[in-house]
Amino acid sequence: MWRNRGMGAASVTSISAVLLILGVVLILVLSINNVVLDTKVKFDEIEVFLEDDLDSSVLDNIENTVKDKNGVISIMFRSKDQALDLMKEEWGEEAYLLEGLDTNPLPDSYIVKVNDIEFAEDLVNTIKMLDGVEEVKYYKDIIDKLLIFAGYIRFGGIVIIGILVFVSVFIISNTIKITVSSRRREINIMKYVGATNGYIRGPFIMEGIFFGIIGAALSIGLVYFGYEYFYNSMNEKLYNLFTFYLVSPESIFRDIAIMFGTIGSGIGALGSLVSLKRFLNV
Amino acid sequence: MIKFVDICKEYKAGVTALYNINTEIDKGEFVFLVGSSGAGKSTLIKLLLKEEGVTSGRVFLNNKDITWVPNRRIPYIRRQIGVVFQDFRLLPNKTIYENVAFAMEIIGAHPREIRRRVPMILSMVDLSRKAGSYPDQLSGGEQQRVSIARAIVNNPPVLIADEPTGNLDPDTAKEIMRVLQDINNRGTTIVMATHAKDIVNTMKKRVIALDGGRLVRDEQKGGYSIEIPSV
């Protein structure tokens, strides 16, 4: 194995590259999922933002009109003060930033819960036409765009990973070929004496798995520590709203370690098997 | 022990290596396989070792039809056949002891059994004193004896020797033939492919001659060529 350091390094690097891309795609997809999940909770809700200083009659009209519509589960008034309190709760440690506001910029609103996606679109269009309604916030299009975006990430990731896996297997099989060539005489004798294919293959597969594990360890380190650095930097720069949706490094470490170890070993073993098939017919 | 029934072997290029070979070799026999280069000797050996498959016909080893065995069974067939080559094929980085022990390790023999049997086999080929030597420290004859030791250490019922004296001088060749005869006396069936006329003519064993892929002669106590009695 050590006679062949250059090719060994190439094998390890190619596996690391595959797993690094996989790690980035995973983190992106998981984070987008968090956004989608959080947004989906709001998806059942339509937030109707109201103009300032409305008469109670206008408010009653809005409430009664909406309540009577099919598919509406509930309608609830949220005052601007309640909205500000809710925001302070969501912001957590950074809520002190909101203390400095002289006036409350948030509007009064109605929170409307619906039970049917199709109905929600029609309902939104109706509400928009009512007097006193400034804006209707409706998350379905955001979710649709996020899901499409997540889909592109996943598809692009799979394509790139697929190509890199193929390249890795190719590189490893050529690396193993050098070891096979150097041991050809020994293997030839093994076959005459009656060694089974499994016995002959064993050491080469172990070599491939070894490259796979080293590559996996490298990529686990890069992904975990690299992502941890990025995550902490984002938090420090007060982008808490952004990192709220990012999956935390600690939560993914164990799963990534197991996944990368397995996939890395798998690629290594596959490369060895391909090499043995091509160069040894074993 | 070994039986070839209606064996034909044709290669893809349309070359017929063997044609209609029918012969049987009994347990304990010593048979010379003779013929010019390209006669089909090596092909016949390859069919027995399952390195090649037949085009038609049947091959039997120890009364079992081995013609169409699945690939995973081939190692177990080869364990019944010891092979000795013209070029010895020893592992240069292993000692004599390790070269012979290697054959036992491959089939999963217990280390205790290896430690018991390898010295015994080295003693049989008179190489006990050189167990710690490497192949390049030995003469051609000694290397071939190591090769023979490796071939018989697992006690196979059949020993195939493919030109075992091809790289040796006449005296050393005789030495090797004594070793092979000794092994044959202990009950191992021996099939030896050879061009060594003197050896064949001296030993007067059964001779199977091939020519152009056909079996042209099968003679008990035969010579390398047909003897034409003088008038």
Chain B nearest-CA distance from A181, in A, is 14
Phi first, then psi, for residue B56 (nearest 5°) are: -155, 160
Residue B89 forms contact with A (CB below 8 Å): yes
Residue B132 C-alpha, separation from nearest chain A C-alpha, in angstroms: 19
Are A193 and B76 within 8 A, CB to CB? Answer: no
**Longest C-alpha distance within chain A, in Å?**
99
A contacts of B83 (beta carbons < 8 Å): 192
Task: Quote the pLDDT of residue B230.
Answer: 45
Between CA B181 and CA B176 the distance in angstroms is 9
> Can you read off the two tokens belonging to residue A86?
């809710």
Give the span between the Cα atoms of A113 and A76, in whole angstroms: 9
Test mutation, A189, A197, A200, chain B, max B CBs within 10 A: A189
A195 vs B75, B77, B150: nearest CB = B75
Nearest Cα of chain A lies from the Cα of B76 at a distance, in angstroms, of 6
The whole-chain average pLDDT of chain B stands at: 89
What chain B residue is nearest to A191 in terms of C-alpha separation? B75
Our measurement of the distance from residue A273's CA atom to the centroid of its chain's CA atoms, rounded to an integer in Å, reads 32
Q: Rounded to a whole number, what is the largest CA-CA distance in chain B?
A: 63
The verdict on B86 touching A (C-beta cutoff 8 Å) is no
CATH code of domain B1-80+157-231: 3.40.50.300
Which among B99, B88, B92 is positioned nearest to B165, based on CA atoms? B88
Residue B130 has pLDDT above 50, yes or no: yes
**Partner residue opposite B79 with nearest CB, options A188, A194, A197:** A194
pLDDT of A97-147, one tens digit each? 777 777 888 889 998 888 765 567 788 888 888 888 988 887 766 767 777
- Arithmetic mean of pLDDT, A218-244: 78
Looking at beta carbons, which residues of chain A come within 8 Å of B106?
A: 190, 193-195, 199
Cβ atoms of B94 and B88 closer than 8 Å: no
* Assigned token pair, B147: 């090769």
Q: Which helix (H) or strand (E) segment is B8 a member of? A: strand B2-10
CA distance to partner chain A, nearest, from residue B61 (Å) = 15
Among A190, A191, A192, A201, most B C-beta atoms within 10 A, so best to mutate, is: A192
Contact A192 B107 (CB under 8 A): no
Name the pLDDT band for B229 (thresholds 50, 70, 90): very low
Quick check: B75 and A194 CB within 8 A?
yes
Amino acid at B75: P
Q: Check residues A11 and B205 and name the one with the higher pLDDT.
A: B205
Chain B residues whose CB is inside 8 A of the A185 CB are: 89, 91
Interface of B with A in 139-158 (CB under 8 A): 150, 154
Under CATH, which number does the domain A43-139 receive? Answer: 3.30.70.3040
Token pair for residue B121? Answer: 């086999």
Given a cut of 80, whether residue A40 has pLDDT beyond it is: no
* Comparison of pLDDT for A157 and B55, the residue scoring more: B55
Contacts of B103 in chain A (CB under 8 A): 193
φ and ψ at residue B81, rounded to 5 degrees: -130, 120
Q: B214, B43 in Cβ contact below 8 A?
A: no
> CB–CB of B167/B140 below 8 Å?
yes
Answer yes or no: do B75 and A197 touch at CB < 8 A.
yes
Reported ipTM: the value is 0.83
Q: HSE-up of B74 (CA within 13 Å, CB side)? A: 20
Interchain contact, A195 vs B106, CB within 8 Å = yes
Q: Any idea what DSSP says for residue A210? A: H
Beta-strand ranges (E) seen in chain A are 45-50, 72-78, 109-114, 133-137
Whole-prediction pTM:
0.67
Which of B223, B174, B172 minimizes the C-alpha distance to B32?
B223
Report strand pairing: B56-61 vs B64-65: antiparallel
Asked if the model's pLDDT at residue B49 lies above 60, the reply is: yes
Q: Does B12 touch chain A (CB under 8 A)?
A: no
Tokens of B175: 């030495």
Please name the residue of chain A whose CA is at the shortest distance from the CA of residue B155.
Answer: A193
pLDDT, tens digit, 9 for 90 and up, residues B5-45: 999 998 878 788 889 999 999 999 999 999 888 888 889 99
Taking CA–CA distances from B104, the nearest residue in chain A reads A193
Which residues in chain A are contacts of B76 at CB distance < 8 A?
Answer: 194
pLDDT at A70: 81
Say what the pLDDT of residue A250 is.
81
Q: Which stretches of chain A sit within 8 Å of chain B by CB?
A: 185-186, 188-197, 199
Among residues B175, B228, B179, B223, the alpha carbon closest in space to that of B203 is found at B223
pLDDT tens for residues B151-189? Answer: 999 999 999 999 998 888 888 888 899 999 999 999 999
Give the nearest partner residue to B89 out of A189, A196, A197, using CB atoms.
A189
Q: What is the distance between the alpha carbons of residues B141 and B172, in angstroms, rounded to a whole number? A: 6
Per-residue DSSP letter, B108: T
**Chain position carrying tokens 């280069």:** B37
Residue B109 tokens read as 């023999």
Contact A193 B103 (CB under 8 A): yes
Question: Does B118 score more than 90 pLDDT?
Answer: yes
Residue A165 corresponds to which tokens in the numbers above? Answer: 């896996």
No. of helices (H) and no. of strands (E), chain B? 7, 10
Bridge partners of A114, per DSSP, are A72
Domain residue ranges in chain B: 1-80+157-231, 90-155
- Residue A35: its pLDDT value, please? 74
Distance from CA of A220 to the nearest CA of B (A): 38
pLDDT at A217: 93
pLDDT band at B3 (very low <50, low <70, confident <90, very high): very high
Does B226 score more than 70 pLDDT? no
Higher pLDDT, A197 or A245: A197
Cβ <8 Å between A192 and B71 = no
Domain ranges in chain A? Answer: 2-39+143-279, 43-139
| B79-110 exposure pattern, b = at least 16 Cβ within 10 A, e = fewer | bbbbbbbbebbbbeeebbbbbbbbbbebbebe
Q: What separation in angstroms does the CA of A156 have from each of A16, A17, A22, B9, B49?
A: 18, 15, 11, 53, 51
CA proximity to A191, closest of B86, B45, B50: B50
By residue count, chain A amounts to: 282
